[in-house]
């Protein structure tokens, strides 16, 4: 198997790197130096440390995977343009955020809300084109799906960075990194999951193995997250920037939450790869009763989370939005199961699917472990103890034990095949409850994220 160009560059000696690598590094160093000089007075020692570590980390990422360079440069330029448009008018605290409804580029593209809405549209369109590629067996539609996914990641990062800027313009002590509530972390989940998928799509393509058809499955769970995000923004008015509650006023949040959601995103991707594996496995199955578990689990996983609740105090058990949402999800999964033979022909081999599933879980487990350790330190600072058996902590431990057992069985016992796929698929049910179900049905120290 050949080694990808990006991988070669990642391990090449410094002296052999091309000029473009050094120009990219110089640009990030200049931007980092400017940020430190301009805003260090507003940073505490931890934030300064994060900035110092972030610059070489981003340089390494750009060297390791070249497509990230253009993404970083364009996202930075778009964020700068948005800030400049805001700063043309100021109020008592800084930029006048009312300009988001008056300036064309802010209103339709660059304000945080506009950018995040574009993210959702682009991810939905990407999902559609990936599936058109599967059904039509054409590479052109698949390439469009991939480009749309990249565009969605770009708009998501721009929206996140601009939202960060906007929070600092509202008032003293309001500004914070936008990872503090379900709305903000669902944005992060959506683009991190997509970015991780795009990495593997690019990596395997450089090795001569096309994974494009797999994107149709991965983008389903991203579209599910976007569907929840739209409902949450409209029904719960969650898109408004709010001050941090005391428990979240910690620098630990800046590192714990992103690490956590790299884990969630990669676990979600592994589950969708597992779903594709099972679709391929059951391609020749004619007994529909044997397919029932695949259909039922698919409804939950392909368009999750399903929130069977109307507004608090409503007489309805389920809002009309979620009734339609559930129906569409059921039809999509039923269509996948019905067309499983045709879809299976477009999917990669079982060996490739198994490899991608394993790699996603391994990366997710590493970051989830780091996030759990960081969360313990955060809990000690906020609540005086490293572990309190809060429902969120308990379910995080259950998630960790589940994937630890999966990896142990894989590495020690050679776990492969349909059992591994069913386990990975069921693992997302556990992860989803830890991520969202705890906030919906249980109370505890993490109640600031409840629905």
Determine the pLDDT at residue 3: 40
Lowest average pLDDT, out of 118-122, 266-270, 280-284, 380-384, goes to 380-384
Going by the DSSP 8-state scheme, the letter that residue 95 receives in this structure is B
Domain residue limits, the chain: 1-65
Confidence at residue 193, expressed as pLDDT on a 0 to 100 scale = 96
Question: Which phi and psi (to 5°) does residue 313 adopt?
Answer: 90, -10
Q: How far apart are the first and last CA of the chain?
A: 48
Q: Label residue 316 by pLDDT band (50, 70, 90).
A: low
- Residue ranges of alpha helices (H) inside 171-319 are 182-206, 215-235, 252-281, 288-302
CB 126 within 8 A of CB 148: yes
Cβ contacts of residue 449 below 8 Å, gap of 6+?
Answer: 181, 182, 439
Q: In sequence order, which residues have a C-beta less than 8 Å from that of residue 29 and are 6 or more positions away?
A: 55, 59
For 35-91, what is each residue's pLDDT tens digit? 888 878 777 787 788 889 999 999 999 999 999 999 999 999 999 999 999 988 887
Which residue would you say has higher pLDDT here, 330 or 25?
A: 25
Write out the two tokens for 225.
């997250």
Q: Is the pLDDT of residue 243 over 90?
A: no
Task: Please give the pLDDT value at position 312.
Answer: 56
> What pLDDT was estimated at residue 296?
66
Token match 């600072």: residue? 381
Threshold 0.75, pTM exceeds: yes
| Euclidean distance between CA atoms 99 and 1, whole angstroms | 54
Assess whether pLDDT exceeds 90 at residue 443.
Answer: no
What integer pLDDT is reported at residue 362 of this predicted model? 97
Q: What is the mean pLDDT of residues 429-447?
A: 75
Residue 62 host element (H or E): helix 45-64
């Amino acid at each position: 198997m050949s080694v990808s160009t990006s991988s070669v560059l990642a391990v090449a000696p410094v002296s052999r790197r091309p000029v473009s690598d050094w120009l990219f590094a110089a640009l990030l160093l200049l931007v980092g130096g400017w940020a430190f000089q301009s805003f260090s007075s507003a940073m505490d020692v931890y934030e300064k440390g994060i900035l110092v570590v972030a610059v070489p980390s981003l340089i390494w990422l750009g060297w390791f995977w070249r497509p990230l360079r253009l993404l970083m440069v364009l996202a930075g330029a778009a964020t700068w343009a948005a800030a400049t448009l805001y700063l043309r008018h100021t109020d008592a605290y800084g930029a006048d955020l009312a300009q988001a409804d008056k300036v064309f580029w802010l209103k339709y593209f660059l304000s945080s809300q506009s950018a995040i809405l574009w993210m959702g549209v682009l991810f939905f369109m990407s999902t559609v084109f990936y599936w058109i590629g599967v059904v039509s067996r054409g590479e052109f539609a698949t390439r469009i799906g991939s480009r749309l996914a990249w565009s969605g990641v770009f708009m998501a990062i721009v929206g996140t960075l601009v939202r960060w800027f906007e929070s600092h313009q509202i008032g003293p002590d309001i500004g914070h990194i936008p990872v503090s509530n379900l709305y903000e972390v669902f944005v992060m989940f959506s683009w991190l999951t997509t970015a991780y998928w795009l990495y593997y799509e690019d990596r395997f393509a450089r090795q001569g193995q096309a994974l494009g058809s797999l994107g149709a499955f991965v983008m389903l769970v991203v579209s599910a997250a976007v569907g929840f995000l739209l409902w949450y923004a409209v029904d719960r008015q969650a898109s408004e920037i709010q001050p941090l509650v005391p428990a979240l006023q910690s620098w630990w949040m800046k590192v714990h939450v992103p690490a956590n959601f790299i884990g969630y995103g990669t676990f979600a991707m592994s589950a969708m790869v597992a779903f594709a594996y099972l679709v391929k496995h059951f391609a020749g199955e004619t007994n529909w009763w044997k397919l029932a578990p695949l259909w039922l689990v698919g409804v939950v996983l392909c368009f999750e989370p399903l929130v069977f609740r109307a507004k608090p105090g409503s007489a309805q058990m389920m809002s009309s939005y979620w009734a339609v949402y559930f129906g569409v999800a059921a039809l999509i999964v039923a269509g996948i199961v019905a067309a499983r033979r045709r879809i299976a022909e477009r999917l990669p081999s079982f060996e490739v699917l198994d490899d991608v599933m394993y790699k996603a879980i391994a990366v997710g487990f590493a970051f989830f472990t780091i996030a759990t350790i960081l969360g313990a330190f955060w809990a000690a600072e906020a609540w005086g103890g490293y572990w309190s058996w809060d429902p969120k902590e308990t379910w995080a431990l259950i998630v960790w034990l589940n994937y630890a057992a999966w990896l142990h069985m894989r590495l020690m016992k050679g776990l492969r095949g349909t059992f591994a796929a069913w386990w990975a698929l069921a693992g997302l049910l556990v992860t989803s409850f830890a991520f969202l179900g705890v906030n919906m049905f249980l109370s505890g120290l993490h109640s600031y994220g409840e629905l």
